[in-house]
Structure 1
Amino acid sequence: MKYELTKDLETGNALIDSEHRELFRMVNNLQDACAKGQGRSQVETAAKFLVDYVKKHFRDEQNLQTSVNYPGYPAHKKFHEDYIRQIEGGADKILASNADIASLAELNKLIGILVAHIRIEDRKLASYVSRYNK
């Protein structure tokens, strides 16, 4: 399954949307590497890059939230902390299982959680930021 930033996932915030596009590109690259049976080093590199980028993106979002005193910050930050643990675990499973079907299904489940978060929480954040900056 290919992931893309569709209109229903766009927040209208240039930084957030560009980082979401990059996250989906990285997920797609990781899935492609696994599907093509590429070497462990390529899968490992893609998985590490995805985890590192998720952390960077979440830091950027949290910095944006604190800069505008976003009231949903504590819950948003908690989601980020929990999700980082989950995506790290998912990446570890992919590597430990040589990217078997179960580990890829787990990755898809984790990306589904992220998509739902983007659709609801990140759109709320972007709307708040837009109103704050007016």
Structure 2
Amino acid sequence: MPILSSWRPTARPERRPFGAAASPRKSFAPVRVHYCSFRRGSFGGSGRVCYNMRHGDAMMKKIEWSQKLAVGVEVIDGQHQQWIQRFNDVAAAIATQEGPVQIGKTLTFLVDYTRQHFATEEKIMTAAGYPDLPAHLAQHHELTQTLQDLLRDFEEEGATQKLAEIVGSYLRHWLINHIQETDRKFGAYAQQKK
């Protein structure tokens, strides 16, 4: 059974703090999770978007590299493959409950690799004169902040159900969506510039 039995962005008029909220239970029983974040650009305008997620079990779906994820810029595609591997490592460490040391190492490595990848991608986009760079940078900033928050939460609370939910659903969805939609737009722009 996949982690998400339903995944729908929902408008939430009530005030809630940004971040994730989950049942206080630590078990992997079905539970609803509410995750809110700002969205800009290709996410349909600016403003707050919240996700309602339902966790069915502790299994995390791997992201498999395919040509659907190819941007067409060799350096970026190579880094995306590595980025996906780092995500899969974190998801596997959480799903198999490898222990706090291993989960912490893999999560820290994912955070560091994400920063490195974004810096490379931003240099390439700047050099190409990419007109949508400000919106793209905003998405990079959003994920960087989310990953920093996840790492801080992990250091304070350990491997909680909330961490599993966010990695297994929100982060997985963000990564795939960002590559397939936002990064591929840059790939098309870069191909036209050649």
Q: Normalising to structure 1: TM-score of the pair?
A: 0.90
Q: Percent identity?
A: 28
- Indicate whether 1:6 and 2:57 are aligned: no
Q: Which residue of 1 aligns with 2:86?
A: 26
Alpha-carbon distance between aligned partners in 1 of 2:94 and 2:103, rounded to the nearest angstrom:
6
Q: Which stretches of structure 1, 4 residues or more, deviate above 4 A after TM superposition?
A: none
Q: Which has the higher strand share?
A: 2
Q: SS of 1:71's equivalent?
A: coil
Residue aligned with 1:66, SS: helix
- Structure 2: gaps spanning 5 or more residues: 1-60
Segment of structure 1 superposing worse, 86-95 or 3-12: 86-95
1:43-122 aligned at under 5 Å gives the runs: 43-108=103-168, 109-122=170-183
Question: RCO (CA 8 Å, sep 6+): is it higher in 1 or 2?
Answer: 1
> Computing the radius of gyration over CA atoms, which structure comes out larger, 1 or 2?
2
Q: Deviation at 1:37?
A: 2.2
**Distance in structure 1 (CA, Å) of the matches to 2:142 and 2:128:** 23
- Cα separation, partners in 2 of 1:96 and 1:4, compared to 1, 3 Å: farther
For the Cα contact (< 8 Å) 2:128–2:190, is it kept in 1? yes
Unaligned runs of 5+ in 1: none
Deviation string 1:22-79 (CA, Å, 9 cap, x unpaired) is 1111111112122222231111110110000011111111000110100011111111
Instruction: Tell me the SS of whatever aligns to 2:130.
Output: coil
Supply the distance in 2 between the matched residues of 1:36 and 1:82 (Cα, whole angstroms). Answer: 28
Q: Displacement of 1:93 after TM fit?
A: 2.9
Higher helix fraction (1 or 2): 1
The farther-off stretch of 8-17 and 96-105 is: 96-105
User: Is residue 40 from structure 1 mapped to residue 96 from structure 2 by the alignment?
Assistant: no
Preserved contact between residue 94 and residue 104 of structure 1 (Cα < 8 Å): no
Give the Cα separation in 2 of the matches to 1:97 and 1:39.
13
TM-score by length of 2: 0.64
User: Aligned partner of 1:27: which letter?
Assistant: F
